[in-house]
Amino acid sequence: MAVKLTWLAHSGFVLEVQDNVVLIDPFLRGNPLAPYQPTILTP
């Protein structure tokens, strides 16, 4: 099983385990400096 952890910035991470992707960021929504907004991300 392959696990990939990518640091986005500050405290944001993307965790990828096989075909599953988890976005971890305590300040994603409402952050004008975030490279992605939750409205463009799909589950």
Count up the domains in the chain and report the number.
1
Give the per-residue pLDDT at 28: 67
pLDDT at 27: 74
In tens, the pLDDT along 1-43 reads 899 999 988 788 999 999 999 988 777 677 787 777 777 766 6
Domain limits at 11?
A: 3-40
Neighbours of 1 (CB within 10 A): 4
CA dihedral (2, 18, 39, 29) in degrees, to 10, reads -40
In one letter, which amino acid is 25?
A: D
> Among candidates 38, 19, 22, 27, which has minimal Cα distance to 9?
27
**pLDDT at residue 16, as a whole number:** 96
Task: Give me the pLDDT at residue 18, please.
Answer: 93
What pLDDT is stored for residue 41 in this prediction? 66
